[in-house]
Amino acid sequence: MNTSDFTSNFWNIYTAAILIASFVGLVWLLVSQNKTKRTGDKVETMGHEWDGIEEFNNPLPRWWFYLFVITVVFGLAYLLLYPGFASFKGILGWTSHNQYDTEMVKAQEKFQPIYDKFAKQPIEVIANDPEAKVIGQNLYNTYCIQCHGSDAKGAKGFPNLTDKDWLWGGKPSEIEYTIRHGQIGVMQPYGGLDPFPDETVKDVASYVLSLNENEAFRSRSNPQSAAKGKVIYDQICFTCHQADGKGLQGLAPNLTDNVWLWGPTDKDIENTIKHGHTNQMPAWENFLVTKKADGSEDTAKLRILTAYIWGLSDHTGEAPEILPYQDENGNAVTDTPADDAASVTIGDDGVVKFYFATGSTDIAANANDSLAAIVAGAGEGKKVVISGFHDATGDAAQNAELAKNRAMAVQAALVALGVNEGSIELKKPESTEGDGSNAEARRVEVALQ
């Protein structure tokens, strides 16, 4: 098919012929079926009969007949007024284009004064304007929701726009720039390169964890592995993420906080290092900035949306509350403890489990927070039971001694938190079954009774 199919008159004549034929056909059908039954006439039948059942040849009901007539008249009137019959444009001269244009002009007349108002105001002022908020929310729902989510909290790979952590800057001018021109974040893949076997990826990830300001992440880092990782980090990664891991806005994200664009688990972090990411925020200039008749720019929509986004994070100047990273279902993500580091977790049953590095009695640094419920329970007069477990590797007596010392370290922490020594019961250390040479075996459990 080529374009002359559309420019030649063939299709016009073709559709016109079909139209005329169907009209004539319809009218003929109507007239031919419009035999009125008169009283006294014998009702005609169609001439066939099944077991005494005959089909009557009654005319159409009146109301039905007139509906048909109205339809035919409507069709003719429509084709007279609007385009539809061949190339005839209709006496009203309507086109979908000029309907759109008139609607746009009307909308423009209605909204232009509002837009003009916002075009002059500072973003901070627009952000607090209730009318602008509604327009901003609508713009967000139209252009942004599919990636940043209905609550603007983002998802893996799509940044949260409601926190105070900004890859590309959170000042109004910076947000405006990002929305207008877009951004591309590139973290190159390192896995598989000559100095980067999987082992090295793990080492560097371990070092990244050790830089974190939260004990929960630091405790997942393995000291020996991290030491090896640091060497690589200081050669390659520091150029973008900086020596302290705090990153540089517009260059690379902060790796020391609990905001993870690509997820917080060991696996997520190793994946980023191994496979890299290329992440694009599209440019919205063509949708949000229009040229005015006098050639100047109308940036009102861009400014209203910028104000809306800026207003989503709070601007009190206080440090943001860092919530634990959550999965899609809103559950806090806790990674399995690293194999050789002190850590602490709280089970669903309220049992607090302490894990220890090989041979060590040091308890995890964030123990106090995790013990809060136990301390409160003891305050209500409940009994605190501490059970020690040890793995089955090495000398049994030595293991039992270590388990006892670990249990006592936990007991000391509880006493330091104000728990009466008399309400604490130390159980005899137990050996765990199985090969037991893992972190899970080297644990102390604290429970209320």
Could you list the residues that contact ligand HEC (CB under 6 A)? Answer: 143-144, 146-148, 157-159, 161, 166-168, 175, 178-179, 183, 185-187, 190, 204, 208, 233, 236-237, 239-241, 252-253, 255, 260-262, 269, 272-273, 277, 279-282, 284, 305, 309
Take residue 415 and report the two structure tokens written for it. Answer: 């006493």
Residue nearest to ligand HEC (CB): 185
What's the rounded Cα separation, in Å, for the pair 235 and 442? 36
Work out how close the CB of 333 gets to ligand HEC at its nearest, in angstroms, rounded to a whole number. Answer: 13
Nearer of residues 309 and 341 to ligand HEC, judged by Cβ? 309
Contact 218, 209 (CB under 8 A): yes
CA distance 106 to 100: 10
CB 297 within 8 A of CB 366: no
Computed from CA positions of residues 429, 430, 435, 439, in that sequence, does the dihedral angle turn out positive or negative?
Answer: negative
Cβ at position 220, least distance to ligand HEC in Å: 13
**Can you read off the two tokens belonging to residue 330?**
């809103």
Which of 4, 10, 66, 9 has its CA nearest to residue 34?
Answer: 66
Q: Which is nearer to ligand HEC, 159 or 337 (CB)?
A: 159
Q: Return the number of the residue (234 or 362) whose C-beta is nearest ligand HEC.
A: 234
Least distance to ligand HEC from the beta carbon of 433, Å? 37
Q: Which residue has the tokens 């942004």?
A: 144
Closest separation in Å from C-beta 105 to ligand HEC: 25
Query: Could you give the CA distance from residue 135 to residue 298 in angstroms, rounded to a whole number?
Result: 15
Asked whether the beta carbons of 322 and 419 are under 8 A apart, the reply is no
Distance CA 113, CA 111 (A): 6
Q: Nearest approach, Cβ of 161 to ligand HEC (angstroms)?
A: 6
Closer CB to ligand HEC, 118 or 166, in the complex: 166
Radius of gyration of the chain (CA): 38
Smallest separation (angstroms) from ligand HEC to the CB of 244: 13
Quote the least distance from Cβ 151 to ligand HEC, whole Å: 14
Who's near 143: CB < 8 A, 6+ residues apart?
A: 284, 287, 288, 305
**Dihedral in degrees, nearest 10, Cα atoms 326, 328, 334, 340:** -120
- Calpha distance 204→235 (Å, rounded): 11
- Candidates 366, 381, 378, 387; CA nearest to 415 is 378
Rounded CA separation 385/173 (Å)? 57
User: Is the CB of 21 or the CB of 134 nearer to ligand HEC?
Assistant: 134
Q: Closest CB to ligand HEC among 117 and 275?
A: 275
Inter-residue contact 289 to 180 (CB < 8 Å) = yes
C-beta closer to ligand HEC: residue 65 or 262: 262
Give the nearer residue to ligand HEC in terms of CB position, either 43 or 319. Answer: 319
To ligand HEC, the closest distance from the beta carbon of 338 in angstroms equals 16
Q: Closer CB to ligand HEC, residue 260 or residue 355?
A: 260
As measured in angstroms, the least distance from the Cβ of 170 to ligand HEC is: 7
